[in-house]
Structure 1
Amino acid sequence: MEIAWGTYPEELVITRSGQPGAPIVFRGRPRDTSPQGSVRIGAMEGPSKGITVRGAEFVEFENLAVVTNSQTPSVTVDGANQVKFTAVGAFAGLRITNGSRQVTFARGDANGGYGKPGITVDGGSTGTVLTTNTVFTYSQAPASVLVDGSPGTVVVSNTVYGDCTTGIALDGASAGAVVENNLVDTARAQSDRCADTAAATGIAVAPAATAGTVVDYNVVDPRSGGAPYRWADTGYQTRPEFTAGTGQGAHDFVAKIYEPKSLDGPQSVARDSADETAPGMLPVDTTGRAAADDPTVRNTGTGTGYRDRGAVEGRDFGSVFTPAGPVRLLDTRAAVGVPGVQAVPAFGQVDLHVAGTAGIPASGVTAVTMNVTVTDPTQAGHLRVYPHGQERPDTSNLNWTAGRTLANQVTVPVKDGKVSFYNHSGGTVHVLADLAGYYSDKGDLFHSLSPSRLLDTRSAVGVPGVQAVPAFGQVDLQVTGLAGIPASGVTAVTMNVTVTDPTEAGHLRVYPHGIARPDTSSLNWTSGRTVPNLVTVPVKDGKVSFYNHSGGTAHVIADVAGYYSGEGRLTFEPTGPWRAMDTRKDVQSPSSVRPAGTVGAFDTLDVEIYAPNTAAATLNVTVTEPGADGHLIVYPSNELMPAVSNLNFQAGETVANQVVVKVNRNRITIRNASPAPVHIVVDLFGTQNY
């Protein structure tokens, strides 16, 4: 029976039974995405006893909110069997009594009033399963979850709040119970010490309930000041004492049930640590979502190892990176990634399928990092790279003049397995894209670093002497163990690489040390030009290699922005792209308004990157209308300006480069290191968040 949205103030008493395999089902039609409370039974305004199932069998309830204005529980199961509640809110409590058998209350809410438990199982009821619920009660109640004289009860994966009252109590002859994977907080207002600490026990098991009972994989919050455990009338203040005295709780924690995300603070012990094999475990959490593997936490649970304890699976994390390549995904000159050899036409678009190619998974990919090159453009213009199917953004990734070949690294969200390339120019252009890696739910985590120089062949940094890289020559650079990069465990490094003083046109290939030299490029230059590009490259043997594919010499510079490894706190949230700053226009940020105007000679520009818990940002930074030659330095706000560069330009030209930069206090700073004003445009493509 499907119940239409609405409020039904009358009492609902069920006495008729269904059949095995054909239960009577009362299902509320969800009004929105909330799994609880879509249809309301009972009323606060007049007499109501909510729902009572009396003596019936094989009855199920789904998507209901049940209230009452009396001391009667919202939901009562009285001498009934094989009754199941899913996503039901019992907002004045649940009681299972009078010898009821095989009753399941799952993915629900149960709130007790003053002096009243959220859930009571008593009267010799057996085989009750309480799983994946949120339970709350106020002071003076005997417990939030009270099992009294009812053996074989399963209390699994619930989040239980008891405001200065016992969290979970097994009283009377309630032997053979299973209490696992629960989060229990009995503190006042969920965080403060209780005046009566004796009443604020976390988990209490009476002497007659200990036989065959299992207590394990729970987290008991100690902030109430009450004993975390009471077993057979003996209190235990710590988990080791409890385990030593009872043999129980070997995988329990006495710790805060929730820890806010931080870069270096404690992490929640509830994450990825549950016993997946416990009876009553569901394949989804209370919101109906499947388990999610938090990549920032080691998997210590059973089964898959990444089920969370409590009613809700934490999902406050993004994607992680898998270094790959470099390998070519797109080349319009050679029909790679496209059906034929054809330049991208004026104001034309190429949709590139990336999922399922070149080792990229067929599903679950959230973003890709590519080195994108344009060559043979017949007119000046710019390229926009963005998620397929999304409205074309008013942003840019590469800006060119007619005839010039140039490259830029791009990290772009993936939609429908594809990304799109739009030629915003009145002429044709060839486009190449070389894979550097992809983001998904499995991979490595980023560690942002303050910019630091790893290589400079002009001043013997990273090399034994001052010498330009010779024609068709190679430099092998040690990156691990330097500039904040660990000596081991590093899978990839992100650097801003600059070529300067090249004597002939050519390109640079940056690739993992020790592998066969790839037929891809990272930077392209003409004789005499200084050209930068951000490069993310896998690390082998602690090194990366630079190959000068030209007939002349060139100096090479590399400034580190961060590295990837198997452990860390940061995950990537692809976004946009959207414009965070354009000095040619008035720009309003959450904290201020910057009026349109250039950034003066040797002046700085602060850009707000407003996202919670952001440690680093992936940006495309463009300089336009510069009055003189110079470069930009992008660095974390409130830090000393480093002696590095991110973007080099000549007077009058428009130049873009990807920048990955550490964020301090939601801001970055950009220094115009030139003797004339410039305009600066900043497009955000994602953030690394903790």
Structure 2
Amino acid sequence: MRPSRRLLALALMLVATTTLVAPAAAASADPPSTVYVNSGVTCDDSGSGTEDLPFCNLQPAADQAVAGQTIVVAPSPAEYGSVTISRSGTPGAPITFTSIGKQKPVLLGAVSLAGVHDVTFSGIQVIGLGGTAAIGVTGSTDVTIDRALLQPASGNTAASGVTIDGDSSGVTVSKSEIQGFQGPIVRVDPGALHVTVTTNVLQAHGSGGVAIHGAVDAAVTGNAFTAGCGGYITIDGGASATVENNVSNVTTGTGCPSPTVGLSVDADSAAGVHADYNAYRTLAPAVEDDWGGTTYPTAAAFQTATGQGAHDLDLSTAAGSIPPENSPLLDSADANAPGELSTDFNGNPRADDPLVADTGIGTPAADRGPYERQDLIGPVVAMTPVEGLAPLATTFKVTSSGTSPWNEPVSYTVDFGDGGGSMPVASGDVLSHTYRTPGVYTETTTAADTGGTRSTATQTVTVGTVAPPKVTMALGAETFTNPALGQTEILPGYAGGTVTVSEPWEVSSAVIDWGDGATSDLATDTATISISHGYSVVGSYPVTLTVTDRLGRVSTASGTATAGDAFSRTVDDPKRVYDSRSGGGVDKVPAGGVVKLSLDQLNAGFGEADGALVNVTVTNAKSSGFIAVYPDGTPTPTTSNVDYAAGQTVANHALALAGGDGIVDFYNHSTGPVDLIVDTYGFQTHGEVGDTYQPAGPVRVLDTRSGLGAPAGAVASKDTVTFQVAGTNGVPADAAEVVMNLTATDTKSAGFLTAYAHGTTRPGISNADWTTGQTACSLVVIPLTDGKVTLYNSGPGTADFLADLVGYYNQYGDASVFLPSAPQRLLDTRSGLGSNGQIAKLQPGQTITLPVASHVNAPAAGVSAVEINLTTTNESSPGYITAYPHGAARPTTSSVDFAGGQTVANMAIVPVGANGSIDLYNGGGATVDLLVDLYGGYYQYPSN
């Protein structure tokens, strides 16, 4: 049984688990000091986390961590998942989780530290989900959370940033940015010991900032608080704590149930709390302090009433960033406060500003809040030129004065970035330097004052190659590997390929114009880049790649992208979807009438379906005419799909392409009414994975007259004949559908033929209809289950059946895709169209060659087959037309059968010869006019 036809995902991943057995000698080897996690490259969660083959996820790395090990987590395009840390370090060898560089990797979920000790979690962004904390610490000691960025997912504000339970001790939260949580930013539960919250930037949101409930010996030091409701710092339940050097902008947000409080200490905790050196900028109705239930709007009022806050400040302007020069926050902190760090939020050292008086205590003098103002000694340099061709001669000069704003001497060094190392340079000196090798270099100038402050300035120097980068672009199908089927599959509607750049470092921008109005910017950090694009309308498009290098030079490459349809069907195809006779009566479609059927009505309303494959039957015709099937909203074509005479019942296969409104028109081009019947086989789509087409033959696989494919003998009334298709004539055993031209002949009564998969229930449709003595043919798509096809004779008399194989569909696969086109007439012997203007019927035994590939909207060299409607008219005796690839031996098959005096049409899928042409052979004994209408072509992507 084949899988479901509806594929909900275009990419599948097979995860294989391999157990590795190490040799005995490896058992004593020391574990690596560094373990790597990087989901953005080739990775393996069953490995050991080397730099070349890192873990994909954080959890496997955490599960194997040992004391002294550093787990390095790289930023990745996708977020990492939740992690539970359950392994511990030692006092001298902690386990450290950290990031690479300044960019923080993102973890979506929660971090849980349960029953661990001596663990540091640093430099990682955690986006909290659900009702749990972003980081939860339970039963753990000596844990540090440093340089983290914690925030809830969009629309999820219920949880806290960090929670520390009462069985934990020695937990430090430092240099982190925590914002947006509805619960407390940091919550410390009763019984917790020695918790420190220091040098953080904290934005309260709902119910407060740092909440210390009954904890012992906590410290809240050097933080910046902004926004939110409740208390920025809340201490209750008999807790003991020190609160110093914090900077708060105390405002009451919209929707807060009560005025916001900077520091709130309940009566049970007042005796155990020491508060000093804090600074507030407070806007009423918010208040600075609530001590034992009494609020105090100013620092002076708070000090007078409680004896606390002797050095607190009232600020007139908002604070929280680096203090400006002469700010009262400068050098006014308690440098000896519990939890005060030697470096600030940005990693800068504490620095004594000589331009302000030291009003704090301890050395070195410290600023209040998380930021320390530094001596502004940033070097100013002049370098020219900074771009050009190799060898590039430059001049360099430090234009800074050599004395800092704090009146300290400043010295300078320069590293030109091309391997020569750093060298001292004095202010005003001019240096000459030549870059001899093409590349991009970073020149770095470092300034240092006598107080220990250092600052760097960098600039990029681009040294180009003599010629701009060479670029190439190869375009083809976009594919993926389906592990369930073990095969490569085409993604219909997509084009894929590669771009190659000779000097990727030299490229500043690369833009692809896909030819449909869309563009893509490429990141050219490697020499070979995979590209992919989905088209809303299938076809072939001119694609242009434009690459600009760092010197402004432009290189281009061009190609053609082709995106086609795949074939798909629902579980109830084939299916009758329209019958104008339903409800009684006949002649429901008037002369000149149009029946409009939506893709939904045609059982094709899925994904990005273009149209349905249908069998159209006309009956009860009162006069001769034809049915034209075409997209709604487009002009009525001059081509025909089903030709009929008065009193005939005639059927033909058609591709029912929908207009932009998803509707297909069926137009009755006659002077009399008819009845119309529509049966579906499936649909063409570029919105999901579908089956791809492979031409085969044409070759005859059944002839009940001669015993080919089944025992000789006409098929009896209401009887069937079954024959093998898969596994023969190049059709694989696992083919999904087979395409055949079916013919009924020697018919002893009127009737119709129904084709279906052997072993399945016969559908209530007809494929070919005939009257007594008539030869009728029709193109049919038949699903396969066991590789056999069954044909049913509905008539009361016998009939012989013939089946000519023309192709098959792979289940998904990478064969040909279909490119539909508006109906276009390629040949009409009545007018000389397609025959070099020669107006002449096709003679008996004559073959005419017709170029077809050039008319398909795809590169002609890749067109494997065309879908055409063949119409014969003005013939005087019975006969047939055989269509086959030009240059191939003529097969003993027929593509359309006709009788004298009839106009007969039949759809055919014909393989294309090597020169893009097909041959059309008149197998009858009389002349005949032949019309050929093109409805699209099948395109086979070139093999890589």
Fold similarity call, TM over 0.5? yes
For residues 331 and 630 of structure 1, what CA distance do their matches in structure 2 show? 31
- Which of 679, 701, 705 is the aligned partner of 1:434? 679
Q: Can you list the C-alpha shifts for 1:606-658, whole angstroms capped at 9, x where unaligned?
A: 11112423110000000010122111111111111000111111112111100
- Which of 599, 605, 625 is the aligned partner of 2:848? 605
For residues 574 and 320 of structure 1, what CA distance do their matches in structure 2 show? 11
* Residue 936 (structure 2) aligns with: 686
Q: Can you list the C-alpha shifts for 1:352-385, whole angstroms capped at 9, x where unaligned?
A: 112x346423451112210000000011111111
Distance change in 2, residues 1:546/1:595 (3 Å): same
Contact 1:363 1:417 in 2 (8 A): no
Distance change in 2, residues 1:649/1:286 (3 Å): closer
For residues 624 and 113 of structure 1, what CA distance do their matches in structure 2 show? 73
1:476 matches 2:722? yes
- For 1:268-287, list aligned pairs within 5 A: 271=496, 287=514
**3-state DSSP class of the match of 1:149?**
strand
1:148 matches 2:441? yes
Contact 1:500 1:531 in 2 (8 A): yes
1:551 matches 2:800? no
Distance change in 2, residues 1:487/1:425 (3 Å): same
Q: Output the amino acid matched with 1:558.
A: A
* Residue 453 (structure 1) aligns with: 700
1:667 matches 2:917? yes
For residues 413 and 328 of structure 1, what CA distance do their matches in structure 2 show? 18
Distance change in 2, residues 1:428/1:149 (3 Å): same
For residues 747 and 803 of structure 2, what CA distance do their matches in structure 1 show? 16
* Residue 895 (structure 2) aligns with: 646
Q: Output the amino acid matched with 2:569.
A: P
TM-score (norm 1): 0.57
For residues 630 and 535 of structure 1, what CA distance do their matches in structure 2 show? 21
How many Å apart are 1:522 and its aligned residue?
Answer: 0.5
How many Å apart are 1:142 and its aligned residue?
Answer: 6.1
* Residue 617 (structure 1) aligns with: 866
Q: Output the amino acid matched with 2:809.
A: Y
Contact 1:323 1:491 in 2 (8 A): no
Distance change in 2, residues 1:188/1:260 (3 Å): farther
How many Å apart are 1:141 and its aligned residue?
Answer: 11
For residues 365 and 114 of structure 1, what CA distance do their matches in structure 2 show? 53
* Residue 44 (structure 1) aligns with: none
1:321 matches 2:567? yes
1:334 matches 2:582? yes
* Residue 384 (structure 1) aligns with: 628
Distance change in 2, residues 1:289/1:424 (3 Å): same
For residues 342 and 517 of structure 1, what CA distance do their matches in structure 2 show? 28
Distance change in 2, residues 1:301/1:286 (3 Å): closer
Percent identity, aligned pairs only? 33
* Residue 576 (structure 1) aligns with: 822
Distance change in 2, residues 1:173/1:559 (3 Å): farther
For residues 363 and 681 of structure 1, what CA distance do their matches in structure 2 show? 34
Two-structure CA RMSD over aligned residues (Å): 4.3
- Which of 856, 874, 881 is the aligned partner of 1:632? 881
Q: Can you list the C-alpha shifts for 1:175-217, whole angstroms capped at 9, x where unaligned?
A: xxxxxxxxxxx99995xxxxxxxxxxxxxxxxxxxxxxxxxxx
Distance change in 2, residues 1:345/1:261 (3 Å): same
- For 1:526-545, list aligned pairs within 5 A: 526-545=771-790
How many Å apart are 1:443 and its aligned residue?
Answer: 0.7
How many Å apart are 1:261 and its aligned residue?
Answer: 8.1
* Residue 654 (structure 2) aligns with: 410
Q: Can you list the C-alpha shifts for 1:389-411, whole angstroms capped at 9, x where unaligned?
A: 11111111111111110100001
TM-score (norm 2): 0.42
Q: Can you list the C-alpha shifts for 1:22-67, whole angstroms capped at 9, x where unaligned?
A: xxxxxxxxxxxxxxxxxxxxxxxxxxxxxxxxxxxxxxxxxxxxxx
How many Å apart are 1:514 and its aligned residue?
Answer: 2.0
How many Å apart are 1:528 and its aligned residue?
Answer: 1.6
Contact 2:884 2:910 in 1 (8 A): yes
Contact 2:864 2:911 in 1 (8 A): yes
Q: Can you list the C-alpha shifts for 1:211-252, whole angstroms capped at 9, x where unaligned?
A: xxxxxxxxxx9xxxxxxxxxxxxxxxxxxxxxxxxxxxxxxx
Distance change in 2, residues 1:301/1:383 (3 Å): same
- Which of 584, 589, 592 is the aligned partner of 1:347? 592
Distance change in 2, residues 1:607/1:286 (3 Å): closer
Query: Structure 1 unaligned runs (5+)?
Result: 1-97, 100-111, 125-139, 152-171, 175-185, 191-220, 222-255, 275-281, 292-299
Distance change in 2, residues 1:421/1:481 (3 Å): same
Q: Output the amino acid matched with 2:576.
A: R
Query: Structure 2 unaligned runs (5+)?
Result: 1-377, 380-386, 393-414, 418-434, 445-457, 461-465, 479-489, 500-508, 521-528, 536-542, 547-557
Q: Output the amino acid matched with 2:791.
A: F
Distance change in 2, residues 1:290/1:332 (3 Å): farther
For residues 390 and 453 of structure 1, what CA distance do their matches in structure 2 show? 38
How many Å apart are 1:475 and its aligned residue?
Answer: 1.8
For residues 669 and 617 of structure 1, what CA distance do their matches in structure 2 show? 12
Contact 1:374 1:430 in 2 (8 A): yes
For residues 644 and 586 of structure 2, what CA distance do their matches in structure 1 show? 22
- Which of 595, 599, 606 is the aligned partner of 2:838? 595
* Larger CA Rg, structure 1 vs 2: 2
For residues 443 and 683 of structure 2, what CA distance do their matches in structure 1 show? 53
* Residue 13 (structure 1) aligns with: none
* Residue 103 (structure 1) aligns with: none
Distance change in 2, residues 1:342/1:402 (3 Å): closer
Distance change in 2, residues 1:305/1:385 (3 Å): closer
* Residue 731 (structure 2) aligns with: 485
Q: Output the amino acid matched with 2:614.
A: M
Distance change in 2, residues 1:393/1:141 (3 Å): farther
For residues 754 and 934 of structure 2, what CA distance do their matches in structure 1 show? 26
For residues 397 and 597 of structure 1, what CA distance do their matches in structure 2 show? 23
- For 1:103-118, list aligned pairs within 5 A: none
Q: Output the amino acid matched with 2:880.
A: H
* Residue 213 (structure 1) aligns with: none
* Residue 740 (structure 2) aligns with: 495
For residues 600 and 421 of structure 1, what CA distance do their matches in structure 2 show? 33
Distance change in 2, residues 1:304/1:425 (3 Å): closer
Q: Output the amino acid matched with 1:593.
A: N
How many Å apart are 1:502 and its aligned residue?
Answer: 1.7
How many Å apart are 1:273 and its aligned residue?
Answer: 9.1
Higher relative contact order (CA 8 A, sep 6+): 1
For residues 673 and 470 of structure 1, what CA distance do their matches in structure 2 show? 28
Distance change in 2, residues 1:551/1:638 (3 Å): same
* Residue 85 (structure 2) aligns with: none
Contact 2:612 2:682 in 1 (8 A): yes
Distance change in 2, residues 1:394/1:473 (3 Å): same
For residues 607 and 560 of structure 2, what CA distance do their matches in structure 1 show? 22
Q: Output the amino acid matched with 1:536.
A: V
**3-state DSSP class of the match of 1:686?**
strand
How many Å apart are 1:289 and its aligned residue?
Answer: 3.5
Contact 1:273 1:305 in 2 (8 A): no
For residues 331 and 315 of structure 1, what CA distance do their matches in structure 2 show? 40
Distance change in 2, residues 1:370/1:332 (3 Å): same
Q: Can you list the C-alpha shifts for 1:151-188, whole angstroms capped at 9, x where unaligned?
A: 9xxxxxxxxxxxxxxxxxxxx999xxxxxxxxxxx999
For residues 403 and 617 of structure 1, what CA distance do their matches in structure 2 show? 32
**3-state DSSP class of the match of 1:688?**
strand
Distance change in 2, residues 1:113/1:564 (3 Å): farther
How many Å apart are 1:301 and its aligned residue?
Answer: 9.1
Contact 2:718 2:796 in 1 (8 A): yes
